[in-house]
């Protein structure tokens, strides 16, 4: 059970995507207050910035990841280090790229372990890659909806894609493995992926791979190509890319009666008090 205290033992915070520029004022306030910040981020200025806020800063990246090692093992290590720190000198903060709940396994493990140990946890929102992709592509998810899947999960479950709804595919550069590597991909890595998407889109369907800039002085990397050309971009598509698959067609309005009513003042009066 989580203790009901005003101050939690553990803060889970996101650092945003673009260096330290996207850290929220709320997160900065919490980091000033933490007795240790344990972080996973490879940005050049991140460590120095965190040290300006908190006297004890621990980078978990190098000690957690090993080439060809299991990513799950790395997340367990991050969680164990954070829980140990919280038991010894709370409050502590675990800080990672983006939003701490979006595509984030270590925070989930921390929450589970904290619950068992009676440690309290508070999650603060961060700017996610999702926000950056919206801005890069000028994509408004309220217009035609949005479907999002993790790339390997999409294949494992053979999830159907809805061709009239924009799709974002996370971790497309880490396809078909739960192990960690910094090695580049071969074209063959994308064969299953391409076959699966071809069930819903034509070979020439244009897709866009986006890597939002991790540094304010650098440009984002945007690659546009036809679906059947994805293999020829394998070398480039590292683990930081998200793939955007635009809708193939728009879904027509079916409820003509409601379509007429949405502009009617009389209807509005009928459905309001």
Binding site for ligand SAM (CB under 6 A): 17, 97-99, 102-104, 128-129, 132-133, 170-171, 174, 210-212, 214, 239-240, 242
Q: Are 167 and 147 in contact (CB under 8 A)?
A: yes
- Compute the distance between CA of residue 99 and CA of residue 96 in angstroms, rounded to an integer: 8
Name which of 81 and 180 has its Cβ closer to ligand SAM.
180
Copy the structure tokens of residue 38.
């344990």
Residue nearest to ligand SAM (CB): 98
User: What's the alpha-carbon Rg for the chain, to the nearest Å?
Assistant: 22
Closest approach, Cβ 238 to ligand SAM, in A, equals: 9
**Smaller CB separation from ligand SAM, 34 or 104:** 104
Given a contact cutoff of 8 angstroms between Cβ atoms, the answer to whether 185 and 234 are in contact is yes
Name the residue nearer to ligand SAM (CB basis): 178 or 267. Answer: 178
Pick 7 or 153: Cβ nearer ligand SAM: 153
Instruction: Give least dist CB 17 to ligand SAM, A.
Output: 5
* Minimum separation from the CB atom of position 219 to ligand SAM (A): 12
Min CB(263)–ligand SAM separation in Å: 38
CB-CB contact of 112 with 12 (8 Å): no
Instruction: For the CB of residue 213, give the shortest distance to ligand SAM in the complex, in Å.
Output: 7
Query: Which pair of tokens denotes residue 167?
Result: 């799709």
Distance CA 94, CA 29 (A): 14
Q: How far does Cα 29 stand from its chain's mean position? A: 23
Smaller CB distance to ligand SAM: residue 214 or 231?
214
| Euclidean distance between CA atoms 190 and 18, whole angstroms | 28
């Amino acid at each position: 059970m989580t203790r009901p205290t005003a101050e939690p033992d553990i803060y889970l915070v996101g650092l945003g995507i673009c260096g330290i520029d996207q850290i929220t004022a709320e997160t900065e306030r919490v980091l000033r207050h933490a007795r240790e910040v344990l972080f996973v981020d490879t940005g050049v200025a991140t460590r120095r910035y965190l040290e300006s806020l908190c006297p004890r800063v621990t980078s978990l990246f190098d000690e957690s990841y090993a080439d060809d090692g299991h990513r799950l093992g790395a997340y367990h290590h991050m969680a164990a280090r954070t829980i140990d720190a919280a038991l010894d000198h709370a409050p502590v903060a675990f800080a990672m790229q983006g939003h701490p709940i979006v595509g984030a396994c270590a925070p989930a493990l921390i929450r589970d372990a904290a619950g068992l140990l009676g440690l309290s946890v508070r999650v603060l929102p961060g700017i996610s890659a999702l926000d950056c992709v919206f801005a890069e592509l000028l994509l408004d998810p309220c217009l035609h909806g949005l479907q999002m899947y993790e790339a390997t999960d999409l294949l494992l479950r053979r999830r159907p894609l809805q061709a009239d709804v924009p799709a974002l595919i996370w971790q497309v550069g880490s396809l078909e493995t739960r192990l960690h590597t910094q090695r580049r991909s071969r074209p063959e890595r994308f064969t299953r992926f391409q076959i699966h998407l071809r069930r819903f889109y034509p070979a020439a369907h244009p897709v866009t791979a986006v890597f939002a800039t991790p540094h304010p002085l650098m440009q984002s990397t945007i690659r546009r190509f036809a679906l059947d050309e994805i293999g020829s971009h394998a070398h480039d598509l590292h683990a930081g890319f998200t793939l955007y698959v635009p809708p193939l067609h728009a879904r027509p309005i079916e409820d003509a009666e409601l379509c007429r009513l949405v502009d009617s003042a009389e209807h509005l009066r009928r459905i309001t008090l």
